[in-house]
């Protein structure tokens, strides 16, 4: 999130969201998988009509972004993975 102001200043449209399990999200009694988070991300990109787009993921988000590239490459034009 620290990069958002710089990205906006550079002229990028920035959309941020928290994955499942990140507070204040409710605990999912049945659990969830990385595939669920990939589907959530793909659904958001499609809902907003943003694909193909640049995706930046940090920590677990980097794992989700990488899996999104493999599962739905048509939605991603470029990806940045941060540890």
Give residue 63's pLDDT. Answer: 96
Distance of alpha carbon 72 from alpha carbon 78, whole angstroms: 12
Give residue 2's pLDDT. Answer: 85
Alpha-carbon dihedral 83, 39, 17, 1, rounded to 10 degrees? 20
If one counts the domains in the chain, the total is: 1
Give residue 20's pLDDT. Answer: 84
pLDDT in tens, the chain (83 residues): 788 999 999 999 999 998 887 777 777 778 899 999 999 999 999 999 999 999 999 999 999 999 999 999 999 999 999 98
* Residue 28 structural domain: 4-82
Give residue 35's pLDDT. Answer: 97
């Amino acid at each position: 999130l620290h990069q958002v102001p710089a990205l906006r200043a550079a002229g990028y449209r920035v959309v941020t969201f928290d994955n499942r399990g990140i507070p204040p999200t409710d605990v999912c009694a049945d659990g969830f998988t990385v595939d669920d988070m990939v589907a959530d991300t793909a659904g958001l990109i499609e809902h907003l009509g943003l694909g193909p787009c640049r995706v930046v993921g940090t920590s677990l988000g980097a794992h989700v972004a990488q899996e999104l590239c493999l599962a739905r490459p048509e939605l991603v034009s470029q990806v940045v993975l941060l540890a």
